[in-house]
Amino acid sequence: MIDDNARASRLTAEKRPDLQLSFEFFPPKTDVMEQKFWESIHKLAPLKPRFVSVTYGAGGGTRERTLRMVSSIKADTGVDAAAHLTCVGASRDEVDAVVRGYQAAGITRIVALRGDAPEGVGQPFTAHPDGYRNAAELVEGIRKIGDFDISVAAYPERHPQSPDWDSDIANLKRKIDAGATRAITQMFFKNADYLRYVERARAAGVTAPIVPGIQPIHSFKQISGFAARTGATIPAWMAERFEGLEDDPETHALVASAVAAEQVIELLDEGVTEFHIYTLNRSNLALALARLLGKRPD
Ligand code: FAD
């Protein structure tokens, strides 16, 4: 039987005071993209997310833009902003200088990552001869500089370069033990993978929050491409739902909204209270999801 009361309480903000959202953006490249970036930030800021994060181009190519965007988000909206940072192609001194730049700009949150080889995701990673060799070492380095809130990456389907589950989870534990506050997952579409991952991490003694990274499907073609590169699986049922919608943006958006809603509501029912939403600098699906989770603009 349909339980309307259960549905109502699940989706009412007052009943979910513990619900926390964060939104991920990338630094815009052009003036037009920057305008869209700010439109989206201003629509999402009234939801009072825990933070908005801005990614870091693999080889540091977005260093200035990431810093500028993160500093401006905080100044313009009052929302806390987190700057991503990778170890790719830079010495420890160079990376430390970026961290000190964040510190000088008043940024207190960092998403610390190893990053991928400049030759492309999936290619073997070679650290700079004087650089941090992985994210755990980076976290340790950041901790020496200041009291940052540090997030690290987690992979419900295992990082493609992890030889097995034990080494994948041991790597997550190293990052948390080095001083990270939370892990944020790579996109995933099968909630069972995430729940199993959390179970494995807890069994290994990881107690930090493991926040699910939710990727709304703005464009099935684009997201399938990202997924293939990052080792995330697109289930057959999902591909079927979007099949033939390439030239029908309205239906595509409605299906995307339903798919993402289904995913987060199922996680909510499993007791998950924190979500990180990959926005790709768009606000519409993120806004819809926030609303379904009971978050209203302040
Ligand atoms: P690590 O945790 O260092 O691990 C990478 C691999 O190396 C794993 O397989 C691990 O098991 C292995 N490994 C690590 N240390 C050791 C060791 N001591 N011995 C043996 N094996 C080891 N990329 C960007 O370029 N810019 C971004 O802004 C960005 N943001 C991201 C945000 C999130 C939430 C996520 C999930 C990913 C993001 N990425 C970003 C992608 C990320 O850089 C890649 O997934 C990269 O391949 C791994 O980074 P990591 O921090 O997880 O690496």
The model's confidence at residue 178, banded by pLDDT at 50, 70 and 90, is very high
Q: What is residue 51's three-state secondary structure?
A: strand
User: 151: Cβ below 6 Å to ligand 1?
Assistant: no
The model's confidence at residue 8, banded by pLDDT at 50, 70 and 90, is low
User: By the 8 A CB rule, do 111 and 184 touch?
Assistant: yes
**For ligand 1, atom 33: residue with the closest CA:** 153
Higher pLDDT among residues 11 and 223, named by residue: 223
Sign of the Cα pseudo-torsion (191, 196, 199, 205, in order): negative
Report the separation in Å between the CA atom of 294 and the middle of ligand 1, taken as the mean of its atom positions: 32
Q: Indicate which residues carry an active-site annotation.
A: 24
* pLDDT > 60? residue 9: no
Calpha distance 75→81 (Å, rounded): 10
Question: Which strand (E) or helix (H) includes residue 287?
Answer: helix 284-292
Calpha distance 242→253 (Å, rounded): 10
User: 182: Cβ below 6 Å to ligand 1?
Assistant: no
The model's confidence at residue 11, banded by pLDDT at 50, 70 and 90, is low
Q: Indicate the top mutation candidate among 52, 159, 276, 279 to test ligand 1's pocket, ranked by most ligand atoms within 8 A of CB.
A: 159
Where does 45-107 have alpha helices with state H?
A: 63-77, 92-104
Calpha distance 151→40 (Å, rounded): 23
Calpha distance 113→137 (Å, rounded): 10
User: 162: Cβ below 6 Å to ligand 1?
Assistant: yes
What is this structure's pTM? 0.96
The model's confidence at residue 14, banded by pLDDT at 50, 70 and 90, is low
Calpha distance 42→30 (Å, rounded): 18
Q: Could you read off the pLDDT of 215-232 as tens digits, one per residue?
A: 999 999 999 999 999 999
- Predicted local distance difference test score (pLDDT) of residue 58: 75
Q: Could you read off the pLDDT of 74-103 as tens digits, one per residue?
A: 999 999 999 999 999 999 999 999 999 999
- Number of CB atoms found within 10 A of residue 67's CB: 20
Q: Indicate the top mutation candidate among 110, 123, 134 to test ligand 1's pocket, ranked by most ligand atoms within 8 A of CB.
A: 134
Q: Could you read off the pLDDT of 271-280 as tens digits, one per residue?
A: 999 999 999 9
Q: What is residue 19's three-state secondary structure?
A: coil
The model's confidence at residue 120, banded by pLDDT at 50, 70 and 90, is confident
* pLDDT > 60? residue 270: yes
Q: What is the mean pLDDT of residues 246-271?
A: 95
Higher pLDDT among residues 190 and 4, named by residue: 190
User: 84: Cβ below 6 Å to ligand 1?
Assistant: yes
- Identify the burial level of 7 via C-beta atoms within 10 angstroms of its C-beta, where 0-12 means exposed, 13-18 middle and 19 or more buried: exposed
User: 161: Cβ below 6 Å to ligand 1?
Assistant: yes
Q: What is the DSSP string of 130-188?
A: TS--SHHHHHHHHHHH---EEEEEE-TT--TT-SSHHHHHHHHHHHHHTT-SEEEEPP-
Q: Could you read off the pLDDT of 41-65 as tens digits, one per residue?
A: 999 999 999 999 999 987 778 888 9
The model's confidence at residue 159, banded by pLDDT at 50, 70 and 90, is very high
- Predicted local distance difference test score (pLDDT) of residue 88: 94
Q: Which domains does the chain have, with CATH numbers?
A: 4-292 (3.20.20.220)
Report the separation in Å between the CA atom of 285 and the middle of ligand 1, taken as the mean of its atom positions: 27
User: 145: Cβ below 6 Å to ligand 1?
Assistant: no
Spatial strand order of the sheet with 81-85 comes to: 210-211, 182-185, 149-154, 109-112, 81-85, 51-54, 20-25, 274-278, 213-214
Report the separation in Å between the CA atom of 114 and the middle of ligand 1, taken as the mean of its atom positions: 5
Quote the mean pLDDT of the chain.
Answer: 93
User: 22: Cβ below 6 Å to ligand 1?
Assistant: no
Report the separation in Å between the CA atom of 139 and the middle of ligand 1, taken as the mean of its atom positions: 12
Higher pLDDT among residues 121 and 254, named by residue: 254
